[in-house]
Amino acid sequence: MGEPMTAQTPIRVLAVDTATSAVVTGVVELNADGGVTTLAERVVTDQRRHAEVLTSLMRDVLAEAGIAGADLDAVVVGCGPGPFTGLRVGMATGAAYADALGVPAYGVCTLDAIDGTVPAPDTGARLVLTDARRREVYWAIYDAGVRVSGPGVDAPDSLVAQVADRGLSDVLGESRFTERFGFAGADLVTPTAASLTAVAAADVLAKAPAEPLAPLYLRRPDAVELKDQKRKSLLPAATDD
């Protein structure tokens, strides 16, 4: 582990997340006390063009921040949970960019970063939800900013029953999901460049060795499932003994 950063040397971080329906990227400065200042940020909703949109946004935020890629000290990447295709775009791009620059890439849970976008409730727990498609949601529960349950993936109605006794004070997510729990929501819920960086701040400041990015899929990708289904269809039909 390297020497911690000093107060005189804020470090510059590129943050990337493609685990939700939006592509989020930004450049931030991280101070020795953990304070985060956003220099530039872009959030674009385009599920079908994650790869194309992300690389363009990375160029945009670097240009707006007035720095070159070589000026970056670290890359922070949201590792989900999220749908397979979109999630791997952000992780592969972030990891490759960090490798090309010779800087560490730190992975964080996207739900942790979303929780960090809103101050924690004074009392009680918060449920954070994102769209998992297939009529399901990714979820995690937080108490005072600390994840105490999850991440998981479930049908919303099943999750309502599971958390009925958790004494939730807040539910953070899209309205179509939060309303089932009796809470107001928003049209779009994403992490921010600042909240992604804040989750990784301790490791970034300490220059901790970066581990390989590990995606939080929480379920098998569709391509694998379809391949398995095709393989099973070629097997002889089972017979009763």
Instruction: Please say if the pLDDT value at position 39 is more than 60.
Output: yes
The per-residue pLDDT for 71 is 96
Range scoring the smallest mean pLDDT among 92-101, 159-168, 197-206, 215-224: 215-224
pLDDT tier for residue 232 given thresholds of 50, 70 and 90: very low
**To which residue do tokens 């010779």 refer?**
102
- Computed over every residue of the chain, the mean pLDDT equals 89
pLDDT tier for residue 209 given thresholds of 50, 70 and 90: very high
Domain membership flag for residue 157: yes
Mean pLDDT, to the nearest integer, of 112-138? 96
Angle at 214 between CA 208 and CA 219, to 5 degrees: 155
Question: Rounded to whole angstroms, how far apart are CA atoms 108 and 93?
Answer: 15
pLDDT tier for residue 235 given thresholds of 50, 70 and 90: very low
Instruction: Please say if the pLDDT value at position 223 is more than 90.
Output: no
With beta carbons less than 8 A apart as the criterion, state whether 89 and 16 touch: no
Domain membership flag for residue 186: no
The per-residue pLDDT for 1 is 45
Half-sphere exposure of 20 (CA within 13 A, CB side): 27
Residue at which a domain ends, from 134, 158, 181:
181
Mean pLDDT, to the nearest integer, of 58-76? 97
The per-residue pLDDT for 8 is 60
What range does the domain containing 200 cover? Answer: 11-112+191-219
Let me know if 169 is exposed, middle or buried by CB neighbors in 10 A (0-12, 13-18, 19+). Answer: middle
Q: Are 51 and 151 within one domain?
A: no
Question: Rounded to whole angstroms, how far apart are CA atoms 69 and 100?
Answer: 10
Mean pLDDT, to the nearest integer, of 83-105? 95
Task: Provide Rg for the chain, Cα atoms.
Answer: 19
Residue at which a domain ends, from 156, 181, 206:
181
Tell me what percent of the residues of the chain surpass a pLDDT of 90: 79
Range scoring the smallest mean pLDDT among 45-54, 139-148, 161-170: 45-54
Domain membership flag for residue 5: no
Q: Are 142 and 195 within one domain?
A: no
Q: Are 134 and 206 within one domain?
A: no
Q: Are 168 and 49 within one domain?
A: no
Instruction: Check which CATH number belongs to the domain holding 77 and give it.
Output: 3.30.420.40
Angle at 17 between CA 145 and CA 100, to 5 degrees: 120
Q: Which tens digit of pLDDT belongs to each residue from 127-161?
A: 999 999 999 999 999 999 999 999 999 999 999 99
SS (H, E, C) 169-228: EEEECEHHHHHHHCCCCECCCCCCHHHHHHHHHHHHHHCCCCCCCCCCCCCCCHHHHHHH
| Cis geometry, peptide bond prior to residue 119 (ω within 30 degrees of 0) | no
| Cis geometry, peptide bond prior to residue 221 (ω within 30 degrees of 0) | no
**Which residues, 6 or more positions from 86, have their beta carbon under 8 angstroms from its beta carbon?**
18, 19, 20, 21, 47, 50
Residues in the chain: 241
Q: Are 61 and 144 within one domain?
A: no
Range scoring the smallest mean pLDDT among 68-72, 81-85, 144-148, 201-205: 81-85
Beta bridge partners of 12: 29
Number of domains the chain is built from: 2
The per-residue pLDDT for 228 is 44
The per-residue pLDDT for 226 is 39
Q: Are 104 and 203 within one domain?
A: yes
Instruction: Please say if the pLDDT value at position 204 is more than 50.
Output: yes
Q: Are 108 and 122 within one domain?
A: no
The per-residue pLDDT for 10 is 86
